[in-house]
């Protein structure tokens, strides 16, 4: 099995093997080759503001404690006791001085150091080397308040992992020096493969169809024309792809038909422009609007984690992200809109889940596996640009990003180590003062 090389996508025809959604061996391999290697979004600084704060999260199927040390540092610790594997933290979040295992009371500091073991002299005879038995630590890095972690010692820096995708992501996450804060999560489980929710981020082709009734209601309330196929095909943004990350964007004013709609999600306050110009430069602050996006492997929109629980089981953790620069009314509006459209209560969500379930389950049919899916929209219609980073779709409505996502998936699955995984060259020009954490 270790030697298997996966070839699940034919980029010439778009033929995609649907067993990637249902096969147990493939799923197991994803856990080591993707979730064991990639930088995974695990939380946000605002969830652990004070020393002693902890937030329970996951890296793949691994339970992880996200903790704030007494020195203010951020720790990501495997939530499994080094003794017999029991869970240290049994709550969603909280504040404490240390983590005590409920089995034998092995006690770990906030940074995972094994600080105390009962009977260390009496029954371990002083033979225990506590310094080698701390909780397993993941590498942690942050970007604009978002906390990422990886198990891979040989992974590139988070900055290199995001690469030129950050040129786009800054426009949502880095507009204000006051930063963002996370609300939530809402947590719920769906009988789908995690990848279908991620590739859907770049899928606009389905919007007037799957979301017909929800869109009708929304556009009626907004006082805008109905969202028809005609209107969709007039939208002029692009789908961009960098290092596995998918970003849809609109350039103003040429793509104004898209961006003038209040239906396009943005996370910006109306009067943040001056600060955004300082931090991002005039062009990014004013001329580019971000659409739907995802981070490789399993982070969706802004932000939701698609946590794998099995080939046909995914647990969603859905956060709303509000800006500290917004007024309380604006913050409430962001949260209201966020839960109205997507999330466990979202109007659009219900339409999407049905699609994801069917796409996922298509892998159960031997007959259909022989046919394969055809992720074929926009083949041969992509280009690059001197200003806009990444591989760009010629049309806003495209499945280029879907195909690139599965190629990236294949690259991780077939790699023996990070040495075999490529990063796109970094060419983006960053204006303004915003950095990874400034």
Query: Shortest distance, CB of residue 212 to other proteins, whole angstroms?
Result: 4
Distance between CA atoms of residues 420 and 438, nearest Å:
32
Of residues 146 and 218, the one with the C-beta less far from other proteins: 218
Contact call for residues 65 and 102 (beta carbons, < 8 A): no
Contact call for residues 20 and 8 (beta carbons, < 8 A): yes
C-alpha pair distances (Å), 316 with each of 204, 244, 298, 409: 21, 20, 10, 20
C-alpha pair distances (Å), 86 with each of 65, 100, 167, 202: 13, 11, 42, 39
Contact call for residues 390 and 45 (beta carbons, < 8 A): no
Query: Shortest distance, CB of residue 396 to other proteins, whole angstroms?
Result: 18
Over the window 330 to 349, marking each residue x when it contacts other proteins by CB under 8 A and - when it does not, the resulting string is --------------------
Interface of this chain with other proteins, residues 157 to 216, rule: CB under 8 A:
208-209, 212-213, 216
Question: What secondary structure does DSSP assign to 184-223, as a single string?
Answer: EEEEEEESS-HHHHHHGGG--TTHHHHTHHHHHHHHHHHT
Of residues 167 and 219, the one with the C-beta less far from other proteins: 219
User: Cβ atoms within 10 A of the Cβ of 257, count?
Assistant: 14
What is the crossing angle of helices 212-222 and 347-361, to 10°?
A: 160
Of residues 10 and 224, the one with the C-beta less far from other proteins: 224
Query: Shortest distance, CB of residue 427 to other proteins, whole angstroms?
Result: 40
> Is position 387 an interface residue for other proteins (rule: CB under 8 A)?
no
Of residues 214 and 285, the one with the C-beta less far from other proteins: 214
Query: Shortest distance, CB of residue 394 to other proteins, whole angstroms?
Result: 25
Of residues 348 and 368, the one with the C-beta less far from other proteins: 348
Of residues 54 and 219, the one with the C-beta less far from other proteins: 219
Distance between CA atoms of residues 412 and 205, nearest Å:
27
Of residues 230 and 271, the one with the C-beta less far from other proteins: 230
Q: Which sign, positive or negative, has the C-alpha torsion 145, 166, 301, 11?
A: negative
In 229-368 the beta strands, taken as DSSP E runs, fall at: 238-242, 245-251, 288-295, 299-300, 304-310, 313-323
Query: Shortest distance, CB of residue 331 to other proteins, whole angstroms?
Result: 33
- Residues serving a catalytic function are 104, 203, 206, 211, 352
- Element (H or E) spanning 382, and its range? strand 382-383
Is the preceding omega at residue 174 within 30 degrees of 0, hence cis?
no
Angle at CA of residue 23, ends 21 and 29, nearest 5°: 95
> Count of residues binding other proteins (CB under 8 A)?
9
Query: Shortest distance, CB of residue 410 to other proteins, whole angstroms?
Result: 34
Over the window 215 to 244, marking each residue x when it contacts other proteins by CB under 8 A and - when it does not, the resulting string is -x---------x-xxx--------------
Query: Shortest distance, CB of residue 209 to other proteins, whole angstroms?
Result: 6
Question: Residue 135 carries which DSSP code?
Answer: P
Tokens 């409505």 belong to residue: 397
Q: Give me the residues that bind other proteins (CB under 8 A), please.
A: 208-209, 212-213, 216, 226, 228-230
């Amino acid at each position: 099995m270790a030697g298997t090389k996966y070839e699940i996508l034919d980029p010439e025809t778009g033929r995609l093997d649907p067993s990637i959604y249902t096969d147990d061996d493939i799923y197991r391999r994803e856990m080591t080759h993707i979730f064991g290697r990639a930088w995974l979004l695990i939380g946000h600084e605002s969830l652990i503001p004070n020393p002693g704060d902890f937030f329970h999260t996951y890296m793949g199927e691994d339970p992880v404690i996200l903790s704030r040390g007494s020195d203010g540092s951020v720790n990501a610790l495997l939530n499994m006791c080094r003794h017999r594997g029991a869970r240290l933290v049994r709550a969603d979040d909280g504040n404490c001085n240390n983590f005590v295992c409920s089995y034998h009371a092995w006690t770990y500091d906030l940074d995972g150091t094994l600080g105390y073991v009962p009977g260390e002299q009496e029954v371990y005879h002083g033979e225990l080397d506590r310094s080698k038995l701390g909780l397993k630590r993941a590498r942690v890095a942050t970007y604009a308040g978002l906390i990422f972690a990886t198990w891979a010692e040989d992974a590139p820096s988070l900055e290199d992992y995001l690469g030129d995708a950050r040129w786009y992501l800054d426009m949502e996450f880095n507009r204000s020096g006051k930063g963002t804060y996370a609300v939530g999560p809402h947590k719920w489980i769906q009988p789908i493969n995690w990848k279908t929710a991620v590739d859907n981020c770049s899928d606009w082709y389905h919007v007037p169809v799957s979301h017909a009734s929800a869109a009708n209601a929304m556009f009626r309330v907004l006082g805008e024309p109905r969202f028809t196929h005609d209107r969709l095909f007039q939208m002029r943004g692009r789908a961009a792809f960098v290092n596995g990350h998918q970003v849809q964007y609109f350039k103003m004013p040429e793509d104004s038909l898209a961006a003038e709609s209040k239906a396009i999600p943005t996370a910006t306050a109306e009067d943040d422009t001056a600060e955004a110009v300082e931090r991002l430069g005039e062009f990014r602050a004013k001329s580019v609007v971000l659409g739907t996006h995802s981070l490789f492997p399993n982070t969706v929109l802004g932000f939701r984690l698609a946590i794998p629980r099995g080939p046909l089981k995914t647990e969603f953790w859905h956060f709303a992200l509000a800006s500290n620069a917004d007024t309380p009314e604006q913050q409430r509006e962001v949260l209201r809109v966020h839960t109205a459209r997507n999330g466990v209560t979202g109007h659009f969500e219900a339409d999407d889940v049905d699609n994801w379930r069917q796409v996922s389950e298509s892998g159960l049919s031997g007959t259909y596996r022989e046919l394969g899916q055809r992720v074929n929209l926009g083949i041969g219609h992509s280009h690059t640009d001197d200003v806009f980073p990444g591989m760009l779709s010629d049309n806003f409505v495209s499945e280029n990003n879907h195909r690139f996502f599965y190629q990236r998936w294949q690259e991780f699955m077939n790699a023996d180590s990070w040495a075999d995984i490529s990063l796109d060259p970094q060419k983006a020009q960053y204006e303004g003062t915003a950095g990874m954490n400034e």
